[in-house]
Amino acid sequence: MITIIAATNRPGSSTLKVATHYQQMMEKAGEKTQLFSLEKLPADIAFNEVFGKRSVAFQDILNEYIVHSQKFVFVVPEYNGSFPGILKTFLDAVHPDLLRGKKAALLGVSSGRAGNLRGMEHLTGILNYLGLFVHPNRLPVSSVLTLMDEKGNITDANTIKVLEKHVGDVIGW
């Protein structure tokens, strides 16, 4: 079971569209997946899940999306030259024992040109610190709004090609 994490809580995000498309590609390739959007996090997570407290709602999220998955795909938008604060808060809230030794692959998403390369660099450092193996194919998806039709399906041929390569890399890892 691979968990795909749409790493923002922005309503109606392009990130969630890319993550959904990615999930469909993985399912088509025969892989069992689930999608977790950070929109589902408790709104007060930074205050009530990080310092030793734990709500039932958040424990349920951990049980469903983190505990039993050995592989994660983080689909990560670029906010202010890095990844969203909510993603680090989420990682600060998960107990490291639930992550250590597992595998993570990254996809960067940006409306501009850089595909969140810096955010993926920062995130790799943090995931390594937490004991996760990070796949070197850290795929930047730039100018994301030009790659999709109005329903959010990725239609750009080259993007589909590199996504298919990424899907194959992650499944074969």
| CB closer to a second copy out of 9 and 69 | 9
Q: Is 77 in the site for a second copy (CB under 8 A)?
A: no
Residue selected from 5, 7, 35, 87 as contacting a second copy according to rule CB under 8 A: 87
What is the largest distance, in Å, between two alpha-carbon atoms of the chain? 47
Site string for a second copy, 97-136 (x = CB under 8 A): ----------------xxx-xx--xx-xxxxxxxxxxxxx
Residue selected from 31, 64, 92, 156 as contacting a second copy according to rule CB under 8 A: 92
**How far does CA 163 lie from the centroid of its chain?**
14
| Least distance to a second copy, CB of residue 93, Å | 8
Q: How far apart are CA 171 and CA 173, in angstroms?
A: 6
| CB closer to a second copy out of 23 and 78 | 78
Taking each helix axis as running N to C, give the angle between helix 14-28 and helix 157-171, from 0 to 180 degrees, rounded to the nearest 10: 60
**How far does CA 154 lie from the centroid of its chain?**
17
Q: How far apart are CA 121 and CA 124, in angstroms?
A: 5
Residues that bind a second copy (CB under 8 A): 9-11, 41, 43-48, 50-51, 79-92, 96, 113-115, 117-118, 121-122, 124-138, 140, 142
